[in-house]
Structure 1
Amino acid sequence: MPLRRAPAALAAVLACLAGAGHATAAGCGPLTVAMYEHGALYYRQGEQWAGIDKDIVDELARRTGCELRMTRDSRIRIWTMLKEGTLDMTMSGIPTAERETFARFTPYLQARNMLLLRNEAARSATTLEQIAAQPELKVAVIKGFKHGASYDSWLERLRQQGRVFEAPDYATLVRLFQHGRVQAILQLSSNIDVLQRDKALAGRFRVLDLVPRENVIGAMVVSRLVAETHTGKLEQALRAMRDDGTLKAIMERHVSPERAQAMLAR
């Protein structure tokens, strides 16, 4: 009798295993989302981390059911890991031809680079040419950032004169500016509100919008090694968040309503 029942028992076990495999395949994640500190997009708030990108990732997880695990890392390491296939996602990524070979981009915000100039420097220089003409004025940028054709060309001229500091991250960039080691920094318009609220900087700098036509697009970035079904879920949810107003509402938690409206990617 036991021998005759064995095939039926084996079939039941195989069915259970098949069911478990199907459930695993149908699940979404865990996917690791690496974040880096960058103004209103991701910043420390007391002992916690906050920001537009964090809120977006939380909402994406809620809507899709995907398990999205947020970690922090440097921007340079994030792009290296995505290229090597050891990271699943990041946010606020700027698409390039090379990056699109190893990741998919879904735009959700736009901004442009603005020049922040300490008040004492702004008394004698308010244009790129005026700043370039004063060798004592120095600029800091985050290492590896691209700022658009006009700013990048201008920065290259200053680099040849030893006037550009390459900060490893956002926090270092702000400290250089705060302590007067440099007189100017370049920042995305999405970060201006946070910097103007910073007690150590408030009232100590001017914001110059010198290249208004060169917008920067920020996108959700998903490795091409992530299953297309998972990527499709996330992309669909992000687009729905824009259409139903959730994306704008998230931005307004961290920036002014006017800036939030301007940041929505068209």
Structure 2
Amino acid sequence: MRLRTGNTGLRILLCCGLTVFAVQAFAACSRAINVPVASTGRSVLINGDQIDGIYPDVLRNLGDSCKFLLTAVPRARLELMFETGRADLLIPASRTPKRDEHGIFIPMVYNRATLISLDSNRPVITSAQELLDKKDLKVALVRGFDYGPAYQDLVKELTRQGRLFFDAEPLSVARLLKAGIADVTIMAPSILAGAIMEDGRVQDMLDKLRYEPIPELPWGDSGAYISKNSLNNEDRAALKEMMEQIAKSGMVWKGFQRYYPANVLKESIRPR
């Protein structure tokens, strides 16, 4: 199996403890599996042509039954590629009704998006309506992220109010927060924290982040979507078996535990 990634120390560390799973025998895929990915904290780390992180290394340890071709693309394009059948696997992904139309979902961990800002004396926001009512707060989001219908409703109303910035990646959102251009973002804390941990320009933000869960964005499933449109029945079944074995193994949760502070996981990721 070949991935577009280098043999870095981080990749080696991520692979530790997963080699036993690699001997699992699976049905072979009839062709290479196309897996476009975007930067997603330490779940997917992209440095030029090098692709590392928790999920790429999970795929790397599945053995030789399937060849996974990982390519780096912008987040918004990734979503379009999956919807139009140009991506065989969407990983990692939160479960949403829109994505269910195009793929078979395999849950691996629980995740949650929260409001995230730099710590301040501002009163705590406890609901979506309170956020909408605080019209002085500018909100920055990653284009292509989707945490379900309530999230999309917030996007529409914040856009109508003229308070919304869209950017291409979590790191860019972190820089907007640090510069004071935006006051709040909404995403899984592990994604923003992972991006911050990888860039010296914003690393000092990590211990200053404030997480504010709201009931409109509850805990939900995160995992992988297998395309209904781009794969034949045999390859779809083979991938489904692989992803289900990954979910049962607990290796994804172990990867998060190795590479994130406990306080970040407490707010955003839970094992199944």
TM-score scaled to structure 1, two decimals?
0.74
Does 104-113 or 183-192 show the bigger shift?
183-192
Instruction: Give 3-state SS (helix, strand or coil) of 2:162's partner.
Output: coil
Matched, 1:203 2:207: yes
* Cα distance between partner residues in 2 of 1:46 and 1:143: 20
The answer for the alignment partner of 1:106 in structure 2 is 106
Report the alpha carbon displacement of residue 111 of structure 1 after superposing the two structures with TM. 0.6
The answer for the alignment partner of 1:263 in structure 2 is 269
Are 2:44 and 2:54, in contact at CA under 8 Å, matched by a contact in 1? yes
* Cα distance between partner residues in 2 of 1:230 and 1:221: 13
Matched, 1:223 2:221: no
Q: Structure 1 pair 196/85, CA: closer, same or farther in 2 (3 Å)? A: closer
Are 2:158 and 2:164, in contact at CA under 8 Å, matched by a contact in 1? yes
RMSD (Å), alpha carbons: 3.2
Q: Deviations over 1:161-195 (max 9, x none)?
A: 21111223323222212222101111214336536
* Cα distance between partner residues in 2 of 1:243 and 1:145: 26
Are 1:125 and 1:131, in contact at CA under 8 Å, matched by a contact in 2? no
* Cα distance between partner residues in 1 of 2:97 and 2:137: 34
Are 1:35 and 1:73, in contact at CA under 8 Å, matched by a contact in 2? yes
The answer for the alignment partner of 1:169 in structure 2 is 169
Q: Deviations over 1:80-107 (max 9, x none)?
A: 2223222222202234444334322212
* Same amino acid, percent of matched pairs: 19
Paired AA for residue 199 in structure 1: Q
Report the alpha carbon displacement of residue 110 of structure 1 after superposing the two structures with TM. 1.8
The answer for the alignment partner of 2:124 in structure 1 is 126
Are 1:107 and 1:220, in contact at CA under 8 Å, matched by a contact in 2? yes
List runs of 5+ in structure 1 lacking aligned partners. 1-24
Instruction: Give 3-state SS (helix, strand or coil) of 1:160's partner.
Output: helix
The answer for the alignment partner of 1:180 in structure 2 is 180
The answer for the alignment partner of 1:147 in structure 2 is 147
Are 1:51 and 1:254, in contact at CA under 8 Å, matched by a contact in 2? no
Q: Structure 1 pair 153/204, CA: closer, same or farther in 2 (3 Å)? A: same
Are 1:178 and 1:201, in contact at CA under 8 Å, matched by a contact in 2? yes
Report the alpha carbon displacement of residue 138 of structure 1 after superposing the two structures with TM. 0.6
TM-score scaled to structure 2, two decimals?
0.73
The answer for the alignment partner of 1:5 in structure 2 is none
* Cα distance between partner residues in 1 of 2:190 and 2:100: 24
* Cα distance between partner residues in 1 of 2:208 and 2:49: 26
The answer for the alignment partner of 1:190 in structure 2 is 190
Instruction: Give 3-state SS (helix, strand or coil) of 1:253's partner.
Output: helix
Report the alpha carbon displacement of residue 265 of structure 1 after superposing the two structures with TM. 5.9
Q: 2:59 aligns with which of 57, 60, 68?
A: 57
Report the alpha carbon displacement of residue 214 of structure 1 after superposing the two structures with TM. 1.4
Instruction: Name the structure where helix makes up a greater proportion of residues.
Output: 1
Matched, 1:253 2:258: yes
List runs of 5+ in structure 2 lacking aligned partners. 1-26
Are 1:196 and 1:203, in contact at CA under 8 Å, matched by a contact in 2? no
Matched, 1:244 2:249: yes
Q: Structure 1 pair 196/76, CA: closer, same or farther in 2 (3 Å)? A: closer
